[in-house]
Amino acid sequence: MKALKSLVLFLGVLLVVGLGLLGYGLYSKAHLKGGASAGAAPAAVAAVVAEFGTVQVPIPAGARVEQMVTAGERVVLRLNGPAGERILVLDPGQGKVVGAFALTPEPALR
């Protein structure tokens, strides 16, 4: 009977220690994730900007930027203008336009 009580006590302590370690791990991951992204982002942006300086991105006359998003290490611009919609893909690391998509309407089916 004494061995059973000792086993139950040992497993109880093991369970409490395991839950404590799990809580600590979750807290440290959440703390590092929030702090690292807020602190590292401006330095990373400053390093990329310093690499190539000011880059002229040609857009069609009369067009305006409707949306700008990041996709991995690329910046995607959605332009809208008199010639229609266009999507430009930029590489900030190289400081150049790496591709463009001209969006054209598909002909109607008869």
Q: Are residues 44 and 2 in the same domain?
A: yes
CA dist., res. 21 & res. 41, Å (int): 30
73: Cβ contacts below 8 Å, ≥ 6 apart: 91, 92, 93
Q: Are residues 35 and 82 in the same domain?
A: no
Examine the fold and report which residue of 12, 27, 53 is the final residue of a domain before the chain moves on: 53
| Total structural domains within the chain | 2
| 25 assigned to some structural domain | yes
pTM: 0.48
- CA contacts within 13 A on the Cβ side of 86: 20
Q: What is the pLDDT along the chain (110 residues), one digit of tens a residue?
A: 899 999 999 999 999 999 999 998 888 888 776 554 444 555 555 554 455 667 788 888 888 999 999 988 899 999 998 888 899 999 888 888 899 888 887 887 76
Q: Are residues 84 and 49 in the same domain?
A: no
Backbone φ and ψ for 104, nearest 5 degrees, come out as: -120, 145
Q: What's the domain range around 82?
A: 64-103
In Å, what is the CA distance from 44 to each residue of 51, 68, 70, 97? Answer: 11, 19, 14, 20
Q: Are residues 48 and 4 in the same domain?
A: yes
